[in-house]
Structure 1
Amino acid sequence: MSRSHGPGSLPSASRVPVAFSRPYSSDREPQRQRQKMVVVGIPNPFIWFRTKIYYFLIRAYFDKDFTIQEFTEGAKQAFAHVSRLLSQCQFEALEGLVAKDLIGKLEEKCKFLPLSYKRALLADPDEIMYTTAGDVGIYYDDDGRKFVSILMRFWYLTSARLPDDSLEGARVFQVALGEGEAETKRLLTANYEFQREFTKGVAPDWTITRIEHSKLLD
């Protein structure tokens, strides 16, 4: 497949600070206080401007209704769903969502994962702290078929018990649940690449062609 338009290396947030808000209580949990975590990404200005150009090209030449906000929300839902299937080793259920050649590779890797690693693959929708678009590519192959790929990066919390030195870069937090209660959670990252063929007559479906979960699937 030849590339007509394409960026360079993977863009990522230059800093990802983590802030905690004060504990709050809800009507549903009058006796239980919870603490909210907010992850804020600070993108590279050059990368931000470049991706804006690609979004414009996608709207101008492929899909006039495309918005990165709507795509991001759909990608977040897909990430939560696929990560759950991965953690449960339901590989047949990944068909139609994940590229066929990738499913085989994931199955081979997951076969030898300890139970704690499998649990860490799961990203609960309520535990996804931050989502951002990364690399964007527009491709044409030798037969004239047109493709768009968007790499999404996710930060999510997990309560899975992992060895302290198993995941480079993973941050550990003590999240307060209430008076005298605390839960240890890790902030992990995942990269999912979504690809769609925009050739006339092809179904308008996005397929996941790349999956990376911290170092869980190395």
Structure 2
Amino acid sequence: MALPVFRGCSRLPSTFGFTRLFLSESVAVNRTGQTRLPPPSPAAVTAAVRPYSSDRGGLKPNQKVVVVGIPNPFMWIRTRIYYFLIRAYFDKEFSIEDFTEGAKQAFSHVSRLLSQCQFDALEGLVAKDLIGKLEEKCNLLPSSHKKALSADSDEIMYTTAGDVGIYYDDNGRKFVSILMRFWYLTSARLPEDTMEGTRVFQVAVGGEGEAKTKRLLTANYEFQREFTQGVAPDWTITRIEHSKLLD
């Protein structure tokens, strides 16, 4: 079974690693869309939470999150070399930008299936040996944690590649793996004692005093593709980690 969200994205990208994210513990967003943020830490990464506006009874974002990061220079150069090698020896149309977009779609889709415990639907998208492990872990989670696994595409705040690898096995098969890191917001009600270290945002979605609490969570998804001649050009998720939820 092919990976639908990866179709046309056989150029899955990988980005620099070790990007750090520093966010305020609480950010208030008022009805006018203005945000109040504390002074950013020097040489750190900051994020502006997107305000929401009412549109025909629905809530739609009218501002994107802006993240400014300082990558590790060594990792940035290393991943760029890997991108070049992938284009030169595996896929001349490879693009990190296209890959990232495909990875975001896959992350949103697969995380929703996990949240709904639709493990059969993960076949062809996630490595077979990983599906069983995920099922065991998810079955032990309370409903609130299961809901927090789901990342709506509009709630993905930031995406970056953490690492890139090129492998050859003893039979001459060729593989490329790319670890993607995602930061996303969730409105799931999570116990404070089990979510220590996560960031909390207050987002005003209506009149004064009508605020919705959201948490910023992180997830790591590793994508792998075999580039051996004659093998279908499909990317498969071989590793899934949701910090504080599925470690």
Following superposition of structure 1 onto structure 2, how do residues 157-168 of structure 1 map, counting pairs within 5 Å?
Answer: 157-168=185-196
Deviates more, 1:67-76 or 1:32-41: 32-41
Following superposition of structure 1 onto structure 2, how do residues 205-216 of structure 1 map, counting pairs within 5 Å?
Answer: 205-216=234-245
Aligned equivalent of 2:229: 200
2:20 to 1, 14, 25: 14
Once the two structures are superposed, what CA deviation does each residue of 1:79-118 show, in whole Å capped at 9, x if it has no partner?
Answer: 0000000000000000000000000000000111000000
Report the 3-state secondary structure (helix = DSSP H, G, I; strand = E; otherwise coil) of the residue aligned with 1:190.
Answer: strand
Whether 1:47 aligns to 2:75 is yes
Deviation at 1:45, TM superposition (A): 2.2
Aligned equivalent of 1:146: 174
Say if 1:215 and 1:106 are closer, same or farther in 2 by CA, change over 3 A. Answer: same
Deviation at 1:40, TM superposition (A): 1.1
Counterpart-to-counterpart distance in 2, 1:144 and 1:204: 17
2:117 to 89, 95, 98: 89
Aligned equivalent of 2:206: 178
Say if 1:13 and 1:155 are closer, same or farther in 2 by CA, change over 3 A. Answer: same
Counterpart-to-counterpart distance in 1, 2:186 and 2:152: 8
Once the two structures are superposed, what CA deviation does each residue of 1:161-190 show, in whole Å capped at 9, x if it has no partner?
Answer: 001121243100101113222100000000
Kept after mapping to 1: 8 A contact 2:217/2:243: yes
Counterpart-to-counterpart distance in 1, 2:218 and 2:186: 10
Kept after mapping to 2: 8 A contact 1:132/1:153: yes
Say if 1:31 and 1:159 are closer, same or farther in 2 by CA, change over 3 A. Answer: closer
Counterpart-to-counterpart distance in 2, 1:106 and 1:54: 30
Say if 1:186 and 1:202 are closer, same or farther in 2 by CA, change over 3 A. Answer: same
Deviation at 1:200, TM superposition (A): 0.3
* Percent identity for Structure 1 against Structure 2: 77
Kept after mapping to 1: 8 A contact 2:176/2:224: yes
Kept after mapping to 2: 8 A contact 1:170/1:188: yes
Kept after mapping to 1: 8 A contact 2:17/2:160: no
Count of residue correspondences: 207
Counterpart-to-counterpart distance in 2, 1:19 and 1:97: 33
Kept after mapping to 1: 8 A contact 2:166/2:177: yes
CA RMSD of aligned residues (A): 2.1
Unmatched 5+ stretches in structure 2:
1-15, 22-44
Question: TM-score, length-normalised on structure 2?
Answer: 0.78
Question: TM-score, length-normalised on structure 1?
Answer: 0.88
Say if 1:77 and 1:32 are closer, same or farther in 2 by CA, change over 3 A. Answer: closer
Kept after mapping to 1: 8 A contact 2:166/2:176: yes
Kept after mapping to 2: 8 A contact 1:135/1:151: yes
Once the two structures are superposed, what CA deviation does each residue of 1:21-73 show, in whole Å capped at 9, x if it has no partner?
Answer: 6x5746x3589796746251512222112111110000000000000000000
